Amino acid sequence: MRKTKISSVILAVLLLLTGCGNVNDNSSSDAENFNIVQQLETEHFSFFSKDEDMQCLKDLSNSLEDNYTRILNDLDTSLSKKVDIYIYTDLNTYHRAANISDTSTHVVGSALPGYNVIQMVNPSNAELLPYSDFMKIIVHEFAHTAIMSINTDVGTIPKWLNEGTASFEAKQDDGVEQLISKAKSSNNLPSFIDLETDSETFSKNGGYQFSYSIIDYIVKTYGYDKLIALIKSPRDFENILGVSKDDFHKQWIAQL
């Protein structure tokens, strides 16, 4: 497997853009164990936190509501109930609540498969990340919720397709062009296998940004209908796009 080599400066940017983690498959009813309660309700979201963490909720709610209709329209899906947003005071508490074993500081938010639940650390208290980054991270996690409404068997969705679509819908394009330019100059663009690896390797090797670029290419070349079809049935790649994965990969690289 080829590994993309990037400078420490670029790597720092890449690790902080998305913040997805591996999460448990339990509902967040255990929020009672963390003494958080419902603090805010909007048209499409309910927010839960401790009293001292309420200040960020309005900003997060505005970011989510501003993107709610667009993302569901883009992905031609709908949600039957409101999404519950659980905000935890600090990174360690969030990791415990979400049962995340990866304690690295870039894992700051996650969406629970099957529950319409998003968990995240208070943007004001997370290490290394600017507050403003969380306004895109929360949208990224909501995009995962929309993706899971299309295909509930989330384990069948390749990481590049799942994370790329969430990053694309959240408009997390910071660093994408710079990373691709560096990879092109060193002839080190990733294969699909490189983008279907474990979460830590995926993140460190710029997987979010490369996957963003692939989804951008799919949408511009084939349209959202094909992207949605891929999410629904990832194994039917060749039938859906009319091209083999190898040929598609060559076409993606050629247009970069």
Where do the H-state alpha helices sit in the chain?
8-16, 57-74, 91-98, 133-150, 159-169, 176-185, 199-204, 207-221, 224-232, 237-241, 245-254
Tokens at 76, concatenated? 């031609």
Domains (range + CATH), the chain: 8-14+158-254 (no CATH), 19-152 (3.40.30.160)
Tokens at 208, concatenated? 């979010």
Amino acid at 21: G
Amino acid at 198: D
Residue 197: per-residue pLDDT: 87
Residue 32: per-residue pLDDT: 72
Residue 7: per-residue pLDDT: 35
Q: How do 83-88 and 109-112 pair as beta strands?
A: unpaired
Each of the 256 residues of the chain gets a pLDDT tens digit; together they read 333 333 333 333 333 444 575 445 444 455 677 889 999 999 999 999 999 999 999 999 999 999 999 999 999 999 999 999 999 999 999 999 988 876 566 789 999 988 999 999 999 987 778 999 999 999 999 999 999 999 999 999 999 999 999 999 999 999 999 999 999 999 999 999 999 988 888 988 999 999 999 999 999 999 999 999 999 999 999 999 999 999 999 999 999 9
Residue 30: per-residue pLDDT: 55
- Kindly give, in sequence order, each residue whose CB lies less than 8 Å from that of residue 72, ignoring residues fewer than 6 positions away: 78, 79, 146
Amino acid at 89: T
d(CA 111, CA 95): 13
∠ CA 46-174-142, nearest 5°, is: 20
Residue 34: per-residue pLDDT: 86
d(CA 103, CA 67): 29
Residue 104: per-residue pLDDT: 63
